[in-house]
Structure 1
Amino acid sequence: MLNKTVGPESIEFDPSGQGPYTGVSNGRILKWQGNWTDFAYNPMYRDRDCVENSNETKCGRPLGLRFNDVTGNLYIADASLGLLSVGPKGGLVNVLATEAGGVPFKFLNGLDVDQLTGDVYFTDSSDHLVRRGPKTGTFELFVNLPGYPDNITRDPRGGYWVAMSNLKAGDPAGAAPEHPVAFRLDQEGNILEALTGGVTTSISEVHEQTGSLWIGSVSNPYVGVCSA
């Protein structure tokens, strides 16, 4: 359970394999150390609205999380507060950006770090799963899934895990035991395996680490885990 809060949307492990880390609905980043402990927080963390409630506009809503494996810094895509970062020891976050080119961010979500250059990539909104095509400046359909994709992560076997929060029929993914909640794909977009509703419902991310699947959600009060 997540210290009386909900919504562990993204799952991440630090460069030494410790964790997982996740962001929750009261704006904090938590770390698993046999139990959930506070790792990082924004300046509003002592505000009553953030301690007792989940005022996301005021307290922040950390979604995408990724470590820089070289520096150990954690980068955070916060839907309300912008692009944030915190050092390897955690603590108070730094606000790196709230706008680009004079245009304020609306809803930061996905985030990744290029481990060679240190560049940080993030989305301000997204509703398609695409990849860069063989022709410069073009894109191609990667896979057509029966639901709406949320986060995508690499798996250690050379493919990808894609989580789905809702099916195209309108039902929450996993609403029935046979409903898929996530797919593992190869590099060509072929479906290799599926997780179904017997695992959990309305998931946002699957992170494969040392033989286990760690499962995030925007609404559940826990992080799920099962064998890979």
Structure 2
Amino acid sequence: MKIIGSFVSPYVRKVLACLVLKGLDYEIDPITPFFGDDTFERLSPLRRIPVLIDGDLTLCDSSVICAYLDEAYPGRALLPADPKDRARARWFEEFADTRLGDVFIWGLFYQRNVRPVVWGEPCDEARVEKSLSTDIPAALDYLERELPAAGFLFGDVGLADISLASFFRNAAYAGFEPDPARWPKTAAYVARVLAEPCFATLLPFEDVQRSVNPAGRRAALLEAGAPLTAETLGTRTPKRGVMAL
């Protein structure tokens, strides 16, 4: 299988963590969506990541990809067996991808880490302030009521836990971590999930991708042991997607 998408993307990280959890091998072309060529746009018409290529099948959207992996590759299940728990797990995945994606990625990480670097645009400080003062606290207040005081949401770590925790790593990259005095269950839960091997094994590759100049990034990732594809769909010039802000 091949994955197209950056190690630093929360949606790509989610898929990679699930692949690790299920013990599936993959190769990755670790491009950011803004630097994809015409072939990337053909594979991902919204110019978003991740993209999965498995033989003659190409899929976009992390939720679609994870559902396919769980159905096509039996073994370690990503979702709980009980129908009610499965429904709740899918809800937490949706909450993560939509609400946490909005407040942590578009409202914080994109503003502080992407706009200045990729587009040479100033950070929207008003949006960051709203995210930090209103939107993020409201999301974390909800999670504080729902998350377990110990362990994971549905027994062993699974898709719901992976989906939620992935966004907190990007929030940390943008300077935000949950206050353990205000959100003790959330802070402890996130730390537990991110410490799991399915996440911990990916962190060295994220560190390389964040710290190395793009010109030397592939060589550095290969040296770090990342399973890269032989070719890349990356370009030197960024291009906005149809749904980019």
Task: Indicate the structure whose relative CO is greater, using CA pairs within 8 Å and at least 6 residues apart.
Answer: 2
TM over 0.5: no
Higher strand share: 1
Please give the TM-score of this superposition, normalised by the length of structure 1. 0.31
Higher helix share: 2
Please give the TM-score of this superposition, normalised by the length of structure 2. 0.29
